[in-house]
Amino acid sequence: MCMCIPSHMITVDVHLGPNPKGGIEESVKTLVLWKASQVLSLGYILHLEKAAAIFAHSDKLYRPGPLYIKESFTYAIPSRHSLLFSSIDFDIIIVVMGEFEFAPTVLVSVREFDPNNDREGVEAVERICEVGPNGKLSLFTDLHGDPICRVRNSPTFLMLIAEIGQETVGMIRGCIKTVTCGKKLHRQGKSNTETEPKQVPIYTKLAYILGLRVSPHHRRMGIGFKLVQSMEEWFRDNGAEYAYMATEKDNVASVKLFTDKCGYSKFRTPCILANPVFAHHVRISNKVTIIELSPNDAELLYRSKLATTEFFPRDVDSVLGNRLSLGTFLAVPRVGSYQPDTWSGSARFLLDPPPSWAILSVWNCKDVFTLEVKGVSRVKKTLAKTTRVLDRVFPWLRLPSVPNFFEPFGFLFLYGLGGEGPQAQQMLRALCGFAHNLAKDRGCEVVATEVSSQEPLRCAIPHWKMLSCEEDLWCIKRLGEDYSDGSLGDWTKSPPGFSIFVDPREV
């Protein structure tokens, strides 16, 4: 898959002059139409880094965008020289000021990642993309030499890279799975009076895009768009009906690429909640009993209670049985018939559940990748270290301390959160404390999870606001109009539910 683009994008300042046949306002409108047209015969491309059209008597401000100059207007231009272009076709005059460098077109190829030959180039792009502005914080991700580690545990996955010549300039990862996208009523008996209708899940084949990177030296050249298009083609070939991606709502470039150019729509806004791991173990309520479930018991309970939750993976058994899943834990009242030494399985539990209970599972992200915060001043590092020293010296005070985020650190991810009953929040809070202590014992610095913004149990999840993201953004796209709407209709237009199931394989 290839595309031709100019090898150099020229940064210029553009000022609009008056239209010979009309006023300034008409000239501006004409330019907008010109920029929007996609004509194959157009020649060189000038990329406008500062293309704001400002007039004393006009409040219109135009954002940077591609400006196409027809080949008939290109001829020898002295370096650092001003030139007057007069377009008969579009009836406008543009004064272009800047340094011009017209270069021959180059070939950008997109192909599948080869772990034997592409690892070094991919890691170089990852490193340069992680670097933040001078004086600002940046979060560095160490993939431990495995560029596909974040999709490797998915049922079907692919990584593509973009190249110019022999140089890797971008990459994208994608995976496909079957998930719950809705629910419907189903009667098990033949007679309407035999059984009460039961809600059952509606499944769809869903694709997920993650890890899109383009080298800063090759941005604004359409490479990201080409990578997304190529990945979507693979999604369709493998029967995916929808594709979605996640980004920060403040990541303007990413949001514009997917919503403006690629046809995605804003879909869900879950919350990422993260809590530091202190130097001391946290105290767990003595009114709660925590039982570790076997993968089979966990699967039965999840399919019975959470199968109709949006994004619930149909192959949840594969998730629970993965080596990175550290276990599923059930919290019940200490006073009751369910205890670890007398546990007789989820089947009996579902027949006679306690008044309140909660459940969660723990995923070990530390063995997949680690994180590191860079760009922090020495003073702040010293203050953070002081809190850790005090916490270790006086553990009985249970002081909140800032972990060492300034060296590579790992974290545990909590997934499959759920519960029922008036004390479900208390039960979940105890489970989060249990997960904190598990993280401390495993040398992790953070415990994190992601839940719906409307999750009823959200307030029971301990987290620090400075480490969390209150509004993550998920965008979705329907990949084909030839799919049947079935019982659900178009999922992209469905209202959000109270809960979502975040697959830890895609963290």
- 116 and 137 together in one domain: yes
Residue 324 lies in a domain: yes
Domain final residue, candidates 233, 267, 301? 267
Query: What are the phi and psi torsion angles at 245 (to 5°)?
Result: -145, 160
Residue 504 belongs to some domain of the structure = no
Q: HSE-up of 296 (CA within 13 Å, CB side)?
A: 3
Residues 261 and 365 in one domain: no
Task: Confirm whether 486 is domain-assigned.
Answer: no
Q: Are residues 198 and 124 in the same domain?
A: yes
Is 495 inside any structural domain?
no
Is 479 among the domain residues? no
Question: What domain count does the chain have?
Answer: 3
DSSP 192-238: TTTS--EEEEEEEEEEEEEEEEE-GGG-SSSHHHHHHHHHHHHHHHT
Which H or E run contains 437?
helix 424-441
Q: Is residue 318 part of a domain?
A: yes
Range of the domain at 461: 273-470
Q: Which of 220, 246, 267 is the last residue of a domain?
A: 267
* Residue 115 sits in the same domain as residue 86: no
For position 337, which CATH number holds?
Answer: 3.40.630
The reply to whether 199 and 345 lie within a common domain is no
Instruction: Note whether 368 and 231 are same-domain residues.
Output: no
Residue 482 domain-assigned? Answer: no
Question: Do 71 and 166 reside in the same domain of the chain?
Answer: no
Q: Under 8 Å CB-to-CB from 321, ≥6 apart: which residues? A: 295
User: Do 344 and 416 fall into the same domain?
Assistant: yes
User: Does 395 reside within a domain?
Assistant: yes
159 and 196 fall within a common domain = yes
Asked which of 39, 74, 98 is the last residue of a domain, the reply is: 98
CA-to-CA dists, residue 176 to 18, 79, 137, 267, angstroms: 53, 50, 33, 18
Q: How many residues does the chain have?
A: 507
- The pTM score is 0.78
CATH of the domain at 225: 3.40.630.30
One pLDDT digit (tens) per residue for the chain, 507 residues: 544 433 333 333 333 343 333 333 333 333 322 332 322 222 333 333 333 222 222 233 333 333 333 332 222 223 332 333 333 233 233 333 333 333 345 688 999 999 999 999 999 999 888 755 545 677 889 999 999 999 999 999 999 999 998 899 999 999 999 999 999 887 665 555 556 788 899 999 999 999 999 998 888 888 999 999 999 999 999 999 999 999 998 889 999 999 999 999 999 999 999 999 998 999 999 999 999 999 999 999 999 999 999 999 999 999 999 999 999 999 999 988 899 999 999 999 999 999 999 999 999 999 999 999 888 888 888 888 888 888 888 877 777 888 888 999 999 999 999 999 999 999 999 999 999 999 999 999 999 999 999 999 999 999 999 899 988 999 999 998 755 545 567 999 999 999 999 999 999
